[in-house]
Structures are given as structure tokens and as C-alpha cells.
Amino acid sequence: MSPVVVNRHHYQGKPLPAPNLYIGRGTPLGNPYTVEAFGKKALSLFAVYLWKAVFDRDAAILAALNSIGPSHSLVCSCAPKPCHGDVVLEVWEWLAGKGEW
């Protein structure tokens, strides 16, 4: 089992799947690069940002990634469109595969 990315707007008036972790802007796993400012590059910029943070052993990023369990839903605003949540999942799976947790 692996975490999944869900769009919070698809749950208007309904509870989000539990357990969940919000990964929007303002959180350690939020994408600081907006589509409005960076266009299609926002996603690739976030990928570079997140991988660099992991390799630099950024404590807040690693703690947030470590808080994700295999049954978590990662809550954002853009899925199922290409999403920074997909990058978060890729990094999480890589770390989990290395036994980093």
C-alpha cells in the first residue's frame, strides 16, 4: 500500500479520507512555486526544491515526509491534474525503499 493524492475540493461537505495530511502552500510539503508565476515550470521547480531539501537533510521536510504512512491520503488542490503531490509520493517511496524510516 502506498499513499495517494486526493483533491480537497472533491470532498466538499464530505469528510476527507483518514488518515490524511494536507500538503498545500504554507506546509513543509507545499509547493512554493505557483503556476501563475512560473507556469508549467512550477512542478519541475518543486521537484528540484524537494529533492535538494531531502539531500540537504532539511529537518522540517524530512519530518513531514516521515509523518506520512502507507495508508495516508495527501490532500492538495490540483489532483488528478499533474501535481506536486506526485513528486512528494515519488520522494516518499524512494526514502521508504531505502529504509530511511
Query: Per-residue pLDDT tens for 51-74?
Result: 999 999 999 999 999 999 999 999
pLDDT over 60 at 31, yes or no: yes
Grade residue 98 by pLDDT with cuts at 50, 70 and 90.
confident
Q: So what's the pLDDT on residue 1?
A: 80
The more confident residue out of 8 and 101 is: 8
pTM assigned to the model: 0.91
Instruction: Residue 29: name the closest of 42, 17, 46 by CA.
Output: 46
Neighbouring residues of 96: CB distance < 8 A, sequence distance ≥ 6: 70
By CB atoms closer than 10 A (0-12, 13-18, 19+), residue 97 is exposed
